[in-house]
Structure 1
């Protein structure tokens, strides 16, 4: 087992630090010189993309496009787990780059929305006044991975909310799950965003993907995925949404080949239906931005000459 790290700075030091942890993985860190990205990606089965600058979508779009190009040319069969925000746009960017290279497999592309699920579980445990339950509580979170596109299906929580919870407190809980990132930024006084909780959430999802890749059955997790990954499940979800979207976050079953099944929303409350409806226009815009970004980048590259492609 090997873990390869790549960034424009510091990766050899981070790799050295990680290599001291008692795991079976050999850890190596690479920098851009001497084909560092290619060395990192060669032979990779799972690629996690957390790269970029917090809350700088324009910058992150370019970074993700360049990394996607490297993956498409070096490890096109790898599972790609996109953490870099805005996930609603960066996942479509990866998809478009892979399409351009003729290696797109929608079953192998995932937007990591696990932090929303982790927050929902934790916040529900707080309301139940028992944080020891947080690891056991499961709340499906659907839609996307920013603001109003984050739709927690609290009616499907494995641990029901108290019947005494007021409508106003329920609304506050939904808002806190949707905008939990702002809570962290405020607490850090603008000096950063969610890093430790995101690292935990990313590791949780990556571990599930690796377990599925190794043959474990029945693993499910919410993820922002192409609906083409499961045409039948995607069609059922589209019927529920009453709108065709190329990507949507729903609970998916994972397998050795990637997405096995995209689960429908199921029975949800009228209030949750309203949240889903409100999320759709925002999702459409986010997805369109990612697709348009890649189209314009390739057009510019063609105008500047083949060497820039």
Structure 2
């Protein structure tokens, strides 16, 4: 049975996701969709022409036709406005709310059985929007945030330690924003706790840089935000679902009492497989971690309230 991945939004993140999806061969068919005439077609054609050089044989194409969503196993929503210097993710809420609503309605119409991955900022509020509009069960509606935040955290730790990022295991929970929780207690290098390898001052600096990781890139780019790693992070989630890999990844999911939290989307470690969310990996938190996570919950609840859904 052929696997199909649809990506909505042919901006920088959507194009990056399409590129990584082709390179990683996550689906036999990849379709890029954008309402701007010719944009998705041009981006997809450019990627398709690299097949002769790179050697991939899966099909990628672009369109403005929403019907192309039909039979998609996974749909990634990247459509929305990016941040500019000085903007927070929350500043995008109202403008991106309408975009995500519209996209989700099309997904519901044409791909009612798909798993839906939301990348649009502010992610935890936008995935809530997709959840409410689609009516899909919680296992099939996920937000991409923790994969990206954890990747940044792992990179910064590896850079400080002078080791390969491949050997760093680290977890970021909570909201995709300034109140995220990079867990120092569980971070390790090949099993060695990072708190035994780096001074507390340096670890605190890395935690703060992780929280501001997106803003740092925005400050350099001026007219856009990060796209390469966000695109890859979304595809990592899609691949786990499409290949039924049972990957343990941090995703924004609807909580129903896990970690003592209910009725909110928040980044937590989960198992992803063929049906989407298969299991949330719950573990004891310290009092300090619980307090930090409660700030994330409060922040997301405030975002959700503004959606009026």
Quick check: TM above 0.5?
yes
Q: Is the 8 A contact 1:205 1:221 kept in 2?
A: yes
TM-score in terms of structure 1 length = 0.80
Q: CA deviation at 1:209?
A: 2.2
Q: 1:155 aligns with which of 178, 182, 185?
A: 185
What does residue 15 of structure 1 align with? 44
Q: CA deviation at 1:182?
A: 1.0
What does residue 135 of structure 1 align with? 166
Is it true that 1:287 corresponds to 2:309 in the alignment?
no
Q: Greater strand percent: which structure?
A: 2
Equivalent-residue separation in structure 2 for 1:288 and 1:154 (angstroms): 31
1:13-162 correspondence to structure 2 within 5 Å = 13-20=42-49, 21=51, 22-31=55-64, 36-38=65-67, 40-55=68-83, 56-99=92-135, 104-113=136-145, 114-130=147-163, 132=164, 134-148=165-179, 150-159=180-189, 160-162=193-195
Q: CA deviation at 1:270?
A: 4.5
State the SS of the aligned residue for 1:252: strand
Q: CA deviation at 1:168?
A: 3.1
Structure 1: 4+ residue segments shifted above 6 A? none
TM-score in terms of structure 2 length = 0.80
Q: Is the 8 A contact 2:252 2:265 kept in 1?
A: yes
Q: Is the 8 A contact 2:250 2:269 kept in 1?
A: yes
State the SS of the aligned residue for 2:156: helix
What does residue 304 of structure 1 align with? none
Unaligned runs of 5+ in 2: 1-27, 84-91
Q: Is the 8 A contact 1:245 1:284 kept in 2?
A: no
Equivalent-residue separation in structure 1 for 2:56 and 2:242 (angstroms): 15
What does residue 2 of structure 1 align with? 29
Equivalent-residue separation in structure 1 for 2:286 and 2:194 (angstroms): 14
Q: Which has the larger radius of gyration?
A: 1
Equivalent-residue separation in structure 2 for 1:268 and 1:71 (angstroms): 37
How many equivalent pairs are there?
264
Equivalent-residue separation in structure 2 for 1:155 and 1:82 (angstroms): 29
Q: CA deviation at 1:88?
A: 1.2
What does residue 87 of structure 2 align with? none
Unaligned runs of 5+ in 1: 228-233, 296-309
Q: Is the 8 A contact 2:184 2:203 kept in 1?
A: no
RMSD of aligned C-alpha atoms? Answer: 1.8
